[in-house]
Amino acid sequence: MTATTPTPPQEPALPLSYPFPLGENGQLPPLIRWAQANQPVCPVAMPSGARMWMLTRKDDIARIFADPRFSRKLDDPATPRIAGQDITTVGRGLFSLDPPDHTRVKSVVSGFFTRRAVGRYETLVRSHAAELLDAMDDGPNPCDLVAGYTSLLQMLVMREVLGVPEELWEDHRRVFPSASSITAGPQETATETEEIKAFTARVIAARRRLPEREDPLGALLRAAADGTISEEEMFGTAFLLFFTGSDGIIAPTTTGAMILMLNPSQLRPVLDDPGLWPKAAEEVLRYFHNGVLGFPVIAREDVELHGVTIAAGDAVVASMQAATWDPRHVNNPEKFNVRRREDAAATFGAGPHYCLGAQLARLYLATALRALFERHPSLRLAVAEQDIPWRNDIMFVRPVALPVTWSEGTPA
C-alpha cells in the first residue's frame, strides 16, 4: 500500500528511487514536482535496478519522445526495464516498434479509434453503466465503487469493444484488471505478462474459428492473413490492446468519481449543464495520470539536454502527469477546474507512440461519470479522504477501493 507525502522534499538524494510516494489524493508526486523545478533530466533508480533519466517538462517530453535519435525497440532482452519481464518484452507490439514498422502496424487499427469511430460506443457504455447502477441500487449502501462500478464497467465494455468471444468472458474477468505490483519482483511481473499472453492467444484462436468481425482484432487478423503485418506484430498489438484497455480506464473513472465527490462546487455546474461532461472528463484526465512513469525510450546516440549527456543506450522515461501540471503551460495546475481552457492531450503521451485509445478514453470517461452522477447526484465518500486506499506500486496508480454512499430516493 502507498504512503502519501503532502510536503515537497527539500533536496532529495539522487538517483530518486521509484516508485515515488504519491501526492495527496493523487496529485503530482512531490518528488516529480521537485525534479520539474530543479532537475529536468533527473536520474531515477528503478525497482529492476536499472537507472533511467526522467523528464518532467512538457516541452522536453514532446521533443524527446518525437526525436528519431531515440528508439522504442524494447524487446531486446538486454533493454533496461522498470520492473522485471514487463509487457515491453512482448515482441513487436506497437509499444516496441519504431517507424516505419510502427506506422505500418498502427495504421491497421487506428481507424477504429478516431473520435468519430468511437462515438458508436457511447450507447454501449451507457447501457452497461445503467445495469451496474441498477445492481448498486439493489445492493448495500455504502458500497465500494471500484468493485461495483469502475472495474466491472471496464470489463463489460472492453470485452465487446475488443471482441472477446463469449466463451472467454470468464477468462477475461479472471485476467483483468491486472494490478500486480511493480515492486513485487521479476517473477510475479513475468507471470502476469505470461497470463495476459496466454489469454490473448486463446482469444485469437477462438476469433479465427468464428465469423469475421469489423473491429480492431478483426482488422489485425486480416492484416496478418494478407501479409500487411507479421503474426508477431498482430499478436503483440492484440496483447497491448487488452492490456491498455483495462486498468488504464479503471483508474481515471475511479479518480474522476473521487475528485468530483471531493469538489461539489465543480460537480454542480456539470450536473446543471450536461454539455460540460466532456470538459469535466478532460480535466480529470489532465489532473490525474494513473501511470506515473510510462515506458522508456532508448538513446541511439549521445544527446545533450539541459547540460546532461544522455548517453547512447541510456533509457529515458517521462511523467505525463508532470506534463499536464507543467506551470509553464498550465495556470494553477493543482486546482481542479472543469471550466479550464487547457486540455489533457499531454496525458496521452507524445510522438509516434501517442495513445491510440485517447478518444475512446475521453468518450468512455465522460459517459461513465455522467451516468454515475446523474443517477446519484448525492454520491459522496463513505470514508475520510485520507483513508482512501491508494496504491502507488501498480502500473496504473489509483485507489484500490472507493467506499461511497448516497441518499436513497434521489431523482434518477
At its nearest, how many Å lie between ligand HEM and the CB of residue 220? 11
**Which amino acid makes up residue 57?**
R
Q: Which residue is nearest to ligand HEM (CB)?
A: 357
Q: Where do contacts with ligand HEM occur on this chain (CB under 6 A)? A: 94-95, 106, 240-241, 244-245, 248-249, 252, 285, 289, 294-295, 320, 347-349, 353, 355-357, 360-361
Q: Is 185 left (phi over 0), alpha (psi -120 to 50) or beta?
A: left
Q: Toward ligand HEM, which CB reaches closer, 287 or 295?
A: 295
Phi/psi of residue 79, each to 5°? -60, 135
Compute, in degrees rounded to 10, the torsion defined by CA atoms 182, 183, 187, 192.
Answer: -20
At its nearest, how many Å lie between ligand HEM and the CB of residue 284? 9
Q: Toward ligand HEM, which CB reaches closer, 33 or 286?
A: 286
At its nearest, how many Å lie between ligand HEM and the CB of residue 160? 12
The DSSP secondary structure of 245-278, one letter per residue, reads TTHHHHHHHHHHHHHHHH-HHHHHHHHH-GGGHH
The DSSP call for residue 121 is G
Q: Toward ligand HEM, which CB reaches closer, 121 or 406?
A: 121
At its nearest, how many Å lie between ligand HEM and the CB of residue 386? 25
Grid cell for residue 241: 490492446
At its nearest, how many Å lie between ligand HEM and the CB of residue 38? 24
At its nearest, how many Å lie between ligand HEM and the CB of residue 245? 3
What residues have CB less than 8 Å from 198, skipping those under 6 apart?
none
CB 64 within 8 A of CB 305: yes
Q: Toward ligand HEM, which CB reaches closer, 25 or 324?
A: 324
Q: Toward ligand HEM, which CB reaches closer, 121 or 373?
A: 121
Q: How far is CA 322 from CA 116, 306, 403, in A?
A: 29, 17, 28
Q: Toward ligand HEM, which CB reaches closer, 73 or 106?
A: 106
